[in-house]
Amino acid sequence: MAPMIQDDVEAHPADKVVAKANGIPESYDKLEDSKLQDIASKRLINYGVKFQKDIIVRSSGLYVYTAAGHKVLDWTSGQMSCLIGHGHPEVVKTIADHAANLDHLFSGMLSPPVLSLADRLTSVLPEGLDKCFFLSTGGESNEAAIKMAKVYTGKFEIVGLGASWHGMTAQALGTQYHFGRSGQGPLMPGMHMLPPPNTYRSIFRNADGSYDWEKELDYGWELIDRASCGSLAACIVECIQSSAGMHVLPQGYLKALKKHCEKRNMFLIVDEAQTGIGRCGDLFASVDFEGVVPDILTLSKTLGNGIPMSAVVTSNEIERICAERDFCFYTTHVNDPLPAAVGDKVLEIVLRDKLVENARVRGKQLKAGLHKLQQRYGCIGDVRGRGLMCGVEIVGDRESKSLAIPLASQIADRMYELGLWANLSSHSAFGGVFRIAPPITITEDEIEQGLQIMEEAFRTTEGSLPL
């Protein structure tokens, strides 16, 4: 609660923010904005990211608003999570209703929102994905899935893909080979890495220059078989490696991966944190596009539309055996009613309003527009993605595919200045890629608006190599 303000005491800057941010955004003067920045520098722990310079005071639909009054089209759905936009009125009402009447319960208690979401979710999934439970974050759901695989198989080795991102908890972190692994000593034992699928940059090539992902995958498993102590429990994979720069698994890759897992009597865990619930133009990328039923499916980000919400889904048989072997993942917020109600409402809206089809149609429009930009600017080395989940890779020149992170940063700054936010993946290993994932409620006009801003940003940034 904010401190009481006496007449002779200057109001704390945070109190002023609350007062103004509760209504329609007003323009904040520079003094107030500088005070907010001062609080940030003095009071917040850096958790591995460079904070953006602007303070965001409101979000609505596809836009976010800064303390200085800047309106920005949000093409990353917050942290790739607000699937149906910021402040969706039905989601707002659901939150308000459950905050007032059914918010949080003892972890052993059940409630109608949990049962409704479990029924709705499993009803749109195939046989073999029959039962689920709900947690808070993607890392948590992946942690639970890995533990479930270990309990069922009695084995402990886990395979992940290079450049993946599965979360910051111990086992989830151990399976990702992108960022966040340093500074803490040994990670979980028994973790192995497959080469990251990268159609644009992989050294595995056929005679005609095309990507030979099958040879790369087989080679990776040969190395893992040599390193393994014979206790392979599971492989965990994303359908699109987002944090690494929006790399889509090649067609057929997931089926081949499933066969490799079956050959070794290990589980396939598919992490659909970003691809699930329609963003790629299919309700689930693994099941509906790739035709693969994983042993365990995890969902998060998009299911909660920005509210902390995740799910673990598996088969009746796996659930039965794990229960017999005392599988435990008992948390404070397991099967909480309020976030479950939000997840249920999000899934209802996506299905009712045919938003999967909208993602497919608008995704084609988006990708066509990005390819037009690629034809105009030589710094765009690659355009990739599926549905409303796209990557634009910036290079120094197309021949060498040299990284051009400073140039990409200049273009990103210009885009933001013009009113568009598309996250730039700037890690040195995978840098210079714009990650684009707008809400799937986006309209034709809003796609065009964003593309026009991108065009202007490329046009007015020195070094963009106009063709």
Contacts of 155 (CB under 8 A, 6+ apart): 231, 232, 233, 266
Q: How far is CA 10 from CA 3, 13, 28, 105, 458, in A?
A: 11, 9, 17, 40, 45
Backbone angles phi, psi at 273, to 5 degrees: -55, -45
3 state DSSP class of 323 = helix
Please, are residues 453 and 418 in contact by the beta-carbon 8 Å criterion? yes
DSSP 372: H
Out of 274, 345, 393, 446, pick the active-site residue: 274
Instruction: Provide the CA 178 distance to its chain's centre, in angstroms.
Output: 14
Out of 301, 345, 360, 362, pick the active-site residue: 301
Cα-Cα-Cα-Cα dihedral of 378, 274, 250, 155, to 10°? 140
Q: In the structure encoding, which two tokens stand for residue 383, read together?
A: 């355009």
Long-range Cβ pairs for the range 422-425 (8 Å, 24+): 422/75, 422/76, 422/392, 422/450, 422/454, 423/76, 425/243, 425/244, 425/245
Q: In the structure encoding, which two tokens stand for residue 332, read together?
A: 């404070």
Out of 33, 140, 157, 271, pick the active-site residue: 271
3 state DSSP class of 233 = strand
The residue written with tokens 């149906």 in the block is 84
Clarify whether 274 is annotated catalytic: yes
Out of 212, 238, 272, 393, pick the active-site residue: 238
In single-letter form, the type of residue at position 102 comes to L
In 3D space, the residue among 413, 430, 431 whose CA is nearest the CA of residue 422 turns out to be: 413
- Left, alpha or beta for 275 (phi > 0: left; psi -120 to 50: alpha)? alpha
The count of other CB atoms within 10 Å of the CB of residue 167 is 24
Clarify whether 258 is annotated catalytic: no
User: DSSP secondary structure string, 78-146?
Assistant: HHHT-TT-BT-HHHHHHHHHHHHH-----TT---HHHHHHHHHHHHTS-TT--EEEEES-HHHHHHHHH
Clarify whether 37 is annotated catalytic: no
Clarify whether 71 is annotated catalytic: no
Clarify whether 301 is annotated catalytic: yes
3 state DSSP class of 161 = strand
Pairing of strands 423-425, 433-436: antiparallel
Out of 155, 345, 362, 435, pick the active-site residue: 435
Separation between Cα atoms, residue 438 and residue 420, nearest integer Å: 11
Residues involved in catalysis:
165, 238, 271, 274, 301, 435
